[in-house]
């Protein structure tokens, strides 16, 4: 086991637009983060991952970058950024930035030049193709954000590829000059002192040669198909990452996490293997994608605890000693974890604490998404017009054309899985707009801010917030939390998620009830317990000396014992 700061640290993800607004324009800003540094320090986190703060026309909230070395004006200035970095470093918190290089904005000077003519020196920075034989798009790939992945450009009559919105043209990684520009930009940020990158959809940067269409029979009512086979973890992706590591990453002591949608565990080992010289860890998606129906995330279906176990067990086991896991249940693209995996009504507090216990006792690096530490929930706006996320708005347009879902059906899907669930402003206190802004927030606050907010949670010793503080303090004391080997017990149980963690001669037993009903834990005989097991943490009051052979776990109860 090789010790590393990025394995032992806990990451806190900040979505700057929704974190804290200091000038009343309704948009969170860098000075807002600076003001909250003491809050973050007290919470006990070690690393911040900041969603994009670069110059951007904001088609996709900053994931469409028009200048990689400038700060979005709404967020502040470069000197605000430098001050933030300095203040974080002063208190020992590291800063990881978002690296979005599968695509840029269509307003990036590279694209503006690329578009001008087929002879432009920047033409090949992007992926251009002529129309198909039928005079249509070059292939049938559907964009992540609905419709074709291709946009016709009148200037030359060619189409450009955009796996995401049409304002996010894909960069052409085959072009060596482009890759060198990206590496130069990365050096520039590292020289400034940042501590790492979270790499947006980094496993999509290599496309299969010829960009073949997906099979015709896979085309949906919109006429397009999922083209993932031709760009998810494509043929040259490992070469590119290795090159990036050689040219840039290896020169600094930094942390890297690849956002790798649809990545398999085999690929996960290749990306994160210590001898591979690629990345430190990846975000896999299998566990957050459970519970999807006919129209994917828009038509949620019930999921089973045994599915979650199977997926997480696979990743925990396969990467042990071989790679490294990142641990998350939500982020800015996902519903709130207490709403998806817990219970956001009767057992909100209990289930939020139970989920936290889970994440922080798995092997890997845990990520807390802003507001998770106070148990923020999904938002249930009453109609689609309240939403701002382009994924939701584009889907709405799509269903108006295809009629594949009614608006009511889409709305209920959005309530469960829409990205804006995670993006409503951070709830600081019970004053107007949750204390997030004195102006009009860019996205409405969740009306439950009057009871769910940081101020309230700080006053309550029994709050979710205080439980997170306890967990993070424990993690600093006990290496077993980050490094201990996970071993699943009771794999078939549909209510209880139980496992042991072992590091050298020490073993912990983690018991989690993932249901709203009482559940009876019966300890398998092969799990040996010393005569006086020690309670490490629990989310309900627990009797002093319980008999660990059988325990009736209360709804969403979590207990961790040191059993040897």
Please give the structure tokens belonging to residue 196: 């790492």
Rounded to a whole number of angstroms, the minimum distance from the CB of residue 30 to ligand ISL is: 19
Catalytic residue among 21, 59, 137, 259: 259
For position 201 contacting ligand ISL by CB under 6 A, the verdict is yes
Which of Ca ion, ligand ISL, none does residue 162 bind (CB under 5 to 8 Å by kind)?
none
Which of ligand ISL, Ca ion, none does residue 205 bind (CB under 5 to 8 Å by kind)?
none
Rounded to a whole number of angstroms, the minimum distance from the CB of residue 274 to ligand ISL is: 26
Q: Looking at 21, 98, 259, 363, which residue binds Ca ion (CB under 5 A)?
A: 21
397 counts as catalytic = no
How far apart (Å, rounded) are the C-alpha atoms in residues 48 and 41?
Answer: 11
Q: Looking at 15, 49, 63, 449, which residue binds ligand ISL (CB under 6 A)?
A: 63
Nearer to ligand ISL, 50 or 457 (CB): 50
Please give the structure tokens belonging to residue 68: 């990689």
Which of ligand ISL, Ca ion, none does residue 391 bind (CB under 5 to 8 Å by kind)?
ligand ISL
For position 200 contacting ligand ISL by CB under 6 A, the verdict is yes
Please give the structure tokens belonging to residue 29: 């800003």
* Alpha-carbon torsion angle 512, 513, 518, 523, nearest 10: -50
For position 25 contacting Ca ion by CB under 5 A, the verdict is yes
Rounded to a whole number of angstroms, the minimum distance from the CB of residue 16 to Ca ion is: 9
H or E stretch including 93? Answer: none
For position 23 contacting Ca ion by CB under 5 A, the verdict is yes
Q: What is the DSSP string of 13-61?
A: EE-GGGT--SSSSSS--HHHHHHTHHHHHHHT--EEEEPP-EE---TTT
H or E stretch including 350? Answer: helix 348-361
Site pattern 439..468 for ligand ISL (x: CB under 6 A): ------------------------------
CA dist 118 to 111, 112, 177, Å?
12, 12, 17
Site pattern 331..370 for ligand ISL (x: CB under 6 A): -xx-------------------------------------
Rounded to a whole number of angstroms, the minimum distance from the CB of residue 106 to ligand ISL is: 13
* Alpha-carbon torsion angle 452, 458, 459, 465, nearest 10: 70
Which of ligand ISL, Ca ion, none does residue 27 bind (CB under 5 to 8 Å by kind)?
Ca ion
Would you tell me how many other CB atoms lie within 10 Å of the CB of residue 194?
A: 20
Rounded to a whole number of angstroms, the minimum distance from the CB of residue 548 to ligand ISL is: 40
Which of Ca ion, ligand ISL, none does residue 410 bind (CB under 5 to 8 Å by kind)?
none
What is the distance, to the nearest Å, from the Cα of residue 153 to the centroid of all Cα atoms in its chain?
33
Which of Ca ion, ligand ISL, none does residue 25 bind (CB under 5 to 8 Å by kind)?
Ca ion
Rounded to a whole number of angstroms, the minimum distance from the CB of residue 60 to Ca ion is: 19
- What φ, ψ does residue 146 adopt, rounded to 5°? 75, 155
Residues 327/337, Cβ–Cβ less than 8 Å: no
Nearer to ligand ISL, 394 or 564 (CB): 394
Rounded to a whole number of angstroms, the minimum distance from the CB of residue 370 to ligand ISL is: 14
For position 286 contacting ligand ISL by CB under 6 A, the verdict is no
How far apart (Å, rounded) are the C-alpha atoms in residues 279 and 237?
Answer: 12
Residues 396/407, Cβ–Cβ less than 8 Å: yes
For position 60 contacting ligand ISL by CB under 6 A, the verdict is yes
Which of ligand ISL, Ca ion, none does residue 405 bind (CB under 5 to 8 Å by kind)?
none
259 counts as catalytic = yes
How far apart (Å, rounded) are the C-alpha atoms in residues 439 and 425?
Answer: 12
How far apart (Å, rounded) are the C-alpha atoms in residues 156 and 523?
Answer: 69
How far apart (Å, rounded) are the C-alpha atoms in residues 292 and 295?
Answer: 8
Catalytic residue among 80, 200, 372, 456: 200
Rounded to a whole number of angstroms, the minimum distance from the CB of residue 494 to ligand ISL is: 27
Q: Where are the alpha helices (DSSP H) in 287-335?
A: 305-319
How far apart (Å, rounded) are the C-alpha atoms in residues 427 and 98?
Answer: 24
How far apart (Å, rounded) are the C-alpha atoms in residues 11 and 152?
Answer: 41
Nearer to Ca ion, 73 or 400 (CB): 73
β 67-71/54-55 pair status: antiparallel
Which of ligand ISL, Ca ion, none does residue 110 bind (CB under 5 to 8 Å by kind)?
none
For position 96 contacting ligand ISL by CB under 6 A, the verdict is no
How far apart (Å, rounded) are the C-alpha atoms in residues 501 and 483?
Answer: 9
Q: What are the residues binding ligand ISL (CB under 6 A)?
A: 60, 63, 100, 144, 164, 200-201, 259, 261, 297, 332-333, 391, 419
Q: What are the residues binding Ca ion (CB under 5 A)?
A: 21, 23, 25, 27, 29
Active-site amino acid positions = 200, 259
């Amino acid at each position: 086991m090789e010790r590393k700061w990025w394995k032992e640290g806990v990451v806190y993800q900040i979505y700057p637009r929704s974190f804290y607004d200091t000038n009343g324009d309704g948009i969170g800003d860098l000075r807002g983060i600076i003001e909250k540094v003491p809050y973050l320090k007290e919470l006990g986190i070690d690393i911040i991952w900041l969603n994009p703060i670069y110059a951007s026309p904001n088609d996709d909230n900053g994931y469409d970058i028009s200048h990689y070395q400038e700060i979005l004006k709404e967020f502040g200035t470069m000197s605000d950024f430098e001050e933030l970095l300095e203040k974080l470093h002063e208190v020992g918190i590291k800063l990881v930035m978002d690296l979005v290089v599968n695509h840029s904005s269509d307003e990036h000077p590279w694209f503006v030049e690329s578009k001008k003519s087929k002879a432009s020196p920047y033409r090949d920075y992007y992926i251009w193709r002529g129309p198909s034989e039928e005079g249509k798009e070059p292939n049938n790939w559907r964009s992540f954000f609905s419709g074709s992945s291709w946009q016709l450009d009148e200037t030359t009559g060619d189409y450009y590829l955009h796996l995401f919105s049409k304002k996010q043209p894909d960069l052409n990684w085959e072009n060596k000059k482009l890759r060198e520009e990206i590496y130069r930009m990365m050096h520039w940020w590292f020289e400034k002192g940042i501590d790492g990158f979270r790499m947006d959809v980094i496993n999509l940067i290599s496309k299969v040669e010829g960009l073949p269409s997906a099979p015709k029979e896979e085309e949906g009512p919109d006429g397009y198909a999922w083209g993932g086979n031709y760009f998810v973890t494509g043929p040259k992706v490992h070469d590119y990452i290795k090159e990036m590591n050689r040219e840039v990453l290896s020169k600094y002591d930094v942390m890297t996490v690849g956002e790798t949608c649809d990545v398999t565990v085999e690929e996960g080992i290749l990306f994160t293997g210590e001898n591979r010289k690629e990345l430190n860890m990846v975000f896999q998606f299998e566990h957050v994608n459970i519970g999807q129906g006919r129209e994917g995330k828009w038509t949620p279906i019930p999921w089973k605890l045994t599915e979650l176990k199977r997926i997480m067990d696979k990743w925990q086991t396969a990467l042990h000693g071989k790679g490294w896991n990142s641990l998350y249940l939500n982020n800015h693209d996902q519903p709130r974890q207490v709403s998806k995996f817990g219970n956001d009504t009767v057992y909100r507090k209990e289930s939020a604490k139970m989920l936290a216990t889970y994440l922080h006792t798995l092997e890997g690096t845990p990520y807390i998404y802003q507001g998770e530490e106070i148990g923020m929930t999904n938002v249930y706006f009453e109609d689609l017009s309240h939403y701002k996320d382009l994924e939701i708005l584009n889907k709405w347009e799509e269903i108006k054309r295809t009629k594949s879902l009614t608006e009511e059906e889409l709305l209920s899907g959005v309530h469960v899985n829409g990205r804006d669930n995670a993006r409503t402003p951070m709830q600081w206190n019970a004053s107007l707009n949750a204390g997030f802004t004195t102006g009009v927030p860019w996205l409405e606050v969740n009306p439950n801010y009057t009871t769910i907010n940081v101020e309230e949670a700080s006053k309550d010793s029994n709050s979710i917030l205080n439980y997170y503080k306890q967990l993070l303090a424990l993690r600093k004391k006990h290496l077993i939390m980050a490094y201990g080997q996970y071993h699943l017990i009771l794999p078939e149980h549909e209510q209880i998620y139980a496992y042991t963690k072992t590091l050298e001669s020490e073993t912990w037993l983690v018991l989690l009830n993932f249901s709203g009903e009482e559940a009876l834990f019966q300890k398998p005989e092969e799990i040996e317990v010393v005569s006086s097991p020690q309670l490490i943490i629990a989310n309900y009051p627990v009797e002093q000396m319980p008999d660990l052979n059988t325990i009736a776990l209360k709804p969403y109860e979590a207990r961790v014992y040191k059993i040897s």
